[in-house]
Structure 1
Amino acid sequence: MELEKEIVNDIRNIVYQARDKVYQVTNNTMVQAYYEIGRTIVEKQGGKEKAEYGSDLIKTISKELSAEFGTGFKVSSLKDMRQFYLTFSKSHALRGELSWTHYRLLMRVENEKARNFYEEECVNSNWSTRQLERQIHSFYYERLLSSKDGKTMKDNLSDEDELLKSPSDIIKDPYVLEFLGLPDQASFSEKELESALISHLQKFLLELGRGFSFIARQKRITFDGRHFYIDLLFYNYLLKCFVIIDLKIGDLTHQDLGQMQMYVNYYEEKVSSKEDNPPIGIVLCVDKSESLVKYTLPKNSNVYASRYKLYLPSEEELRRELHKEYNLLELEKTIGTK
């Protein structure tokens, strides 16, 4: 019986792998076909992005093709194919790992740098279409731009190597935790917040970004006869360092930052190996004072304070926050030169 079960499992794996390959080939073929259809339409319109007779032409094409091939050639679909070619013809080769649904989501991102970033992350992190949609709607790219090390509003974050050069490159502010389903008001405890994050660990890892691996919750460290407990402990295999996360539901205090600095110092001295880079500490809080962070932590500290939101921020809200942080950075530069 054991031999039969083993053979059945092996055959089952072969079938699944074959199905995956067939799906991948079919998907690549269809994506390429849609691209070529879009190219044909654009070129027949004289290569113009906006052609005066474009709408009537597409209606005619849709009617003819639908009569011959059935569904799949509606006016809206043909317009998507046309836009697909216009969006990606000037950038680079199509990615075989991405489906037509991936590309339909990507081509609705107007910012080219953001679109390129999402495309690279989608491939590197193997995002599903649902995960890609969530990251776009939660302004993942824009939140990475708001890191607190003077790179705010920097011009280029689309390059994969540029993205992960330093610890601050993985820090987002705010983190969006709408998937927890918790009320916006602070009517829950830090323990309940921690439990909710563990229950939705896969989604939390997606929000943290690429390279994170979960190690432990309530990780105990002991020295001088005293016990301390780290809320959440991760390791980032791209940056090759431990990432320590503490959760706060009240106002951020200098004691919170000091405690995190202690955790980071301990892990650097007692836990990290010679091959590891210095640990990173993140205090996740509802709100924070930039001045408190600045005057509590040493200049070269690997400790960061980031807010979390329990809902998806609107584009306007996020834009206001980015401009606010940009203005604070410019003010610090001005003061520093006087």
Structure 2
Amino acid sequence: MSELEKSEGSVLDGEGFYRKVADVLVEARRRAASAVNLSMVYAYFEIGRMIVEEQQRGKSRAEYGKQILQGLSAYLTERFGKGFSVANLTLMRKFFLTYASDEISETLFPKSSALPAVSTGRRFFLSWSHYLKLMRIGNVEERHFYEIEAARNNWSLAEFNRQFDSALYERLVLSGDKEKARALAEKGQVIASAKDAIKDPYVLEFLGLPEQTVYSERDLETRIIDHLQEFLLELGRGFAFMDRQARFTYGEDHFFVDLVFYNRLLRCFVLFDLKLSKLTHQDIGQMQMYVNYYDRNVRLEGENPTIGILLCKDKHDSMVEMTLPEDNSQIFASKYQTVLPSKEELKRLMDDQE
């Protein structure tokens, strides 16, 4: 190799090296920003505590609380600038009142021991923007669930808003029972069996397909692939995309599985078959064949049985139950919708289950 070639090679290698060093700095700045945001959450909790205690000392004077907020707002704004309006100080007060006696299991967060604890022993894991959203959730169990999942899955605020707006908590509760609702509040979503990974319905509003638009199954599949990141977020924890239109041959016939995923937590393949029309028992039989093929020809030793999910526009639950065996743990039918559900309607369905 000539000196020129060596020189050119070192420049190219150097550019790669430069990028790696830059990546370290970008990550460090991200972590620093995250640390600053988290430290402000603790500061706001402490400010809220001090406001509440000072107001309580002057509770005999009706206007004392307002005077404290107005005076403190003027003082802090003069010293520190924006961010300390009466409205923001009121939110800090609410933050303290919401979380002063609120407990959440720290065993859910292995790194929580590295975080400081406030005077009540509570630790915080999310940004102030996340807690502003959480404080608007009146149901304590639902609030705990979203805090756990946002911290565990590192949801951005946009992702958190999307999961809340798509009524993730209500949909998971509807797929279980009262015990599952309690477990969601205490532990978040725990995926220990195939049923734990299933939602009904799946909300696919990010595909941009209006409810009444006519489209084909291939169109639906293509939209899902085009929005794969959002679809994986909707699926939940542990899913990895493997293939689309996965072909296999049985006898002289060729078959195609619409979408193939693998779930790392369940350690199994998850097959999706997309249906636009009402689900039939033939559709269930076909999915059973797909699952059997993967179990017998694709699944490796040590992996768990394959899961099949029929994602359909409409289904008849009694027909599904009659077609599948009573001990079924592999084939599931879930509806999908292309618009965000009404949280009020889902809450009514939850109430009907009680």
TM-score by length of 1: 0.88
Say whether the 8 Å CA contact 1:39–1:82 is kept in structure 2. yes
Match of 2:281 among 254, 260, 264: 254
| Residue aligning to 1:57 | 68
Map 1:244-323 onto structure 2 (within 5 A).
244-301=271-328, 302-323=330-351
Structure 2 counterparts to residues 199-210 of structure 1, below 5 A = 199-210=226-237
Aligned to 1:181: 208
CA contact (8 A) 2:203 2:234 kept: yes
Partner of 1:2: 12
TM-aligned CA deviation for residue 207 of structure 1: 0.6
Corresponding position of 1:332: none
> What CA distance in whole angstroms lies between the structure 2 residues aligned with 1:152 and 1:290?
22
Q: How far apart, in 1, do the equivalents of 2:172 and 2:99 lie?
A: 24
Aligned residues: 323
Name the CA distance, whole Å, in 2 between partners of 1:168 and 1:56. Answer: 55
Aligned 1:1-338 pairs, distance under 5 A: 1-46=11-56, 53=63, 54-90=65-101, 91-92=103-104, 93-96=122-125, 98-147=126-175, 154-160=181-187, 163-301=190-328, 302-324=330-352, 326=353
Q: CA 1:14–1:47 in structure 2 vs 1: closer, same or farther (change >3 Å)?
A: farther
Distance 1:16 1:153, change over 3 A: closer
Please state how far the C-alpha of 1:322 moved relative to its aligned partner. 3.2
Provide the secondary structure at the position in 2 that maps to 1:250: strand
Task: Return 5+ residue gaps in structure 1 as ranges.
Answer: 328-338
Q: Give the fraction of aligned pairs with identical amino acids, expressed as a percent.
A: 46
Deviation at 1:180, TM superposition (A): 0.8
AA partner of residue 24 (structure 2): I
Q: Distance in 2 between matches of 1:147 and 1:246?
A: 20
Asked whether the 8 Å contact 2:55–2:68 carries over to 1, the reply is: no
Q: Secondary structure at 2:293's aligned position in 1? A: helix
Identify if the C-alpha distance between structure 1 residues 315 and 7 changes in structure 2 by more than 3 Å, giving closer, same or farther: closer
8 Å contact kept, 1:113–1:156: no
Contact 1:145 1:152 in 2 (8 A): no
1:176 partner letter: V
Q: Provide the rounded CA distance (Å) in 1 between the counterparts of 2:140 and 2:132.
A: 14
Query: Which whole-Å deviations, capped at 9, do the CAs of 1:190-223 have from their partners, x for residues lacking one?
Result: 1000100110000011111111111111111221
- Deviations along 1:97-121, whole A, 9 cap, x unmatched? x211111112212121211111111
State the one-letter code of the partner of 1:102: H
Secondary structure of the structure 2 residue equivalent to 1:272: coil
Q: CA deviation at 1:55?
A: 4.0
Q: Indicate the SS of the match to 1:227.
A: strand
1:238 alignment partner AA: L
User: 1:151, CA displacement in angstroms?
Assistant: 6.3
Q: Is the 8 A contact 2:149 2:188 kept in 1?
A: no
RMSD: 2.3
Shift of 1:311: 0.8
Q: Report the AA paired with residue 227 of structure 2.
A: H
* Cα distance in 2, alignment partners of residues 52 and 246 from structure 1: 64
Does the CA contact (< 8 Å) of 1:138 and 1:312 recur in 2? yes
1:21 Cα offset (Å): 3.0
Residues 1:3 and 1:196: Cα distance change in structure 2 (over 3 Å)? closer
Deviations 1:208-255 (A, max 9, x none): 111111111111122112111111111111111111111111111111
SS, match of residue 158 in structure 1:
helix
User: Deviation of residue 60 (structure 1)?
Assistant: 2.9
3-state SS, counterpart of residue 308 of structure 2: strand
Instruction: Kindly state the Cα deviation for residue 45 of structure 1 after the two structures are TM-superposed.
Output: 2.6
Residue 63 of structure 1: how far off its partner (Å): 2.5
Return closer, same or farther for 1:3/1:266 CA change in 2, 3 Å cut-off.
Answer: closer
SS at match of 2:185: coil
